[in-house]
Amino acid sequence: MMEVIEFFRQNPFLFGLIIGLLIALAVLIRGAFTKRALNAEIRKLKESLYTKMQIDAKGHQSRESELEQLRTANENLRITVKSLQQKPGRAEIRQLHVYDKAVHTMLARAPGFAPTWEIVLKEAEDELEKSEKGITAFMRRVFMPSKPMTLSESQTKFIDYEPDEETRDKD
**SS3 letters across 36-86:** HHHHHHHHHHHHHHHHHHHHHHHHHHHHHHHHHHHHHHHHHHHHHHHHHHC
pLDDT in tens, 110-160: 777 777 777 777 777 777 677 666 666 555 555 555 544 444 445 444 455
Q: Is the pLDDT of residue 161 over 60?
A: no
Query: DSSP states of 105-143 as a string?
Result: HHHHH-TTHHHHHHHHHHHHHHHHHHHHSHHHHHHHHHH
**How would residue 165 be classed by pLDDT, with cut points 50, 70 and 90?**
low
Q: What is the pLDDT of residue 84?
A: 76
Segment 67-87, tens digit of pLDDT: 999 999 999 998 888 887 677
In whole numbers, what is the pLDDT of the chain averaged over residues? 78
Backbone dihedral angles phi then psi of residue 110, each to the nearest 5 degrees = -100, 115
| Residue 37 confidence (pLDDT) | 96
> Which pLDDT score is estimated for 74?
93
Q: What are phi and psi of 135, to 5 degrees?
A: -70, -30
Q: How confident is the model at residue 3 (pLDDT cuts 50, 70, 90)?
A: confident
| pTM more than 0.75 | no
CA 106 vs. chain centroid, Å, equals: 46
